[in-house]
Amino acid sequence: MYKLCFTIVCLVISVSAIAQRNTLVQQAPYYTSGSIGSIDIAVSGMDDADGDSYFEEAEKNEKTGDLNDALTFFAKAAFEYNNSKNFSRYGASLLRLSNVHCMLEHYTEAEQVVLNAALKTYSRIGSRTGQMASYNQLGKVYLAANKLTQSLWFYTQQGILAKQVNSTTYYIDSILGIAEVKIKKKEYSMAAKDINRAELFARSSKINQFKGQIRQARSVIAEKMSKQNKS
């Protein structure tokens, strides 16, 4: 109980800090060079060691299944990165915080961390990669919460932005997310077409990281269709 209460306190502090520092985020000097992720962010002289330490501890706790502790440390990491104006790491910590909330089925908290903090931060610093990652996380959150219309919308937004910035990896990821939504909607034939399209893009671009995900999605579709035919 103490850990859970402490986690909530840390999150409240983190969200309060976000609100207080929105002006700093907007005023932080940066420029984009036109290529994805090529952004210079003015970082203060404050050391990121505390943020890095908390982030590393959070990852350890997440891997071992100590999710309440992971929440605590990701929130602390986000707070430290925001203090030092390392907004890229700040956003990354918030996305990981959202993911742990999602694992704990805290869907409202998972949603709000991204909508009210991570996505806004990435938009202000001009990080298209961060925006796509935020759309992807929201797609996952809404899918887990069985809010399929919202999930489909955010996966679609990810795909639109990925095409605009020529990010094949994020585009394939969005197609697979859309396929997951269609599987939940029992639109198995349409989902299978999306899986085939994702695989085609991955092969033509020589991207191998989605092989396991594609294989698993096909297995799920085959199982679901088999049960559907028997009923």
Does 65 fall in a domain? yes
pLDDT single digits (tens) 104-144: 999 999 999 999 999 999 999 999 999 999 999 999 999 99
In the numeric block, which tokens belong to residue 29?
A: 């000097």
Does 31 fall in a domain? no
10 Å CB burial of residue 218 (0-12, 13-18, 19+) is middle
Does 141 fall in a domain? no
Helix, strand, coil tally for the chain in percent (to 5): 80, 5, 20
Does 118 fall in a domain? no
Question: What is the C-alpha separation between 105 and 177, in angstroms, rounded?
Answer: 19
Question: What is the C-alpha separation between 14 and 27, in angstroms, rounded?
Answer: 20
Does 183 fall in a domain? yes
Residues 6, 68, single domain; the answer is yes
Residues 93, 188, single domain; the answer is no
pLDDT single digits (tens) 39-96: 233 333 356 889 999 999 999 999 999 999 999 999 999 999 999 999 999 999 999 9
Last residue of a domain, one of 105, 129, 147: 105
Residues 4, 101, single domain; the answer is yes
pTM of structure: 0.80
Does 137 fall in a domain? no
- Nearest-5° Cα angle at 28, 24 to 30: 160
Question: What is the C-alpha separation between 69 and 4, in angstroms, rounded?
Answer: 8
Does 25 fall in a domain? no
pLDDT single digits (tens) 166-187: 999 999 999 999 999 999 999 9
**Among candidate residues 64, 136, 154, 125, the one with its CA nearest the CA of residue 99:** 136
The pLDDT value given to residue 229: 79
Total domains in the fold of the chain: 2
Last residue of a domain, one of 105, 123, 146: 105
In the block, residue with structure tokens 């501890």: 57
Last residue of a domain, one of 63, 90, 105: 105
The answer to whether the CB of 122 falls within 8 A of the CB of 91 is: yes
The residue range of the domain holding 6 is 1-16+48-105
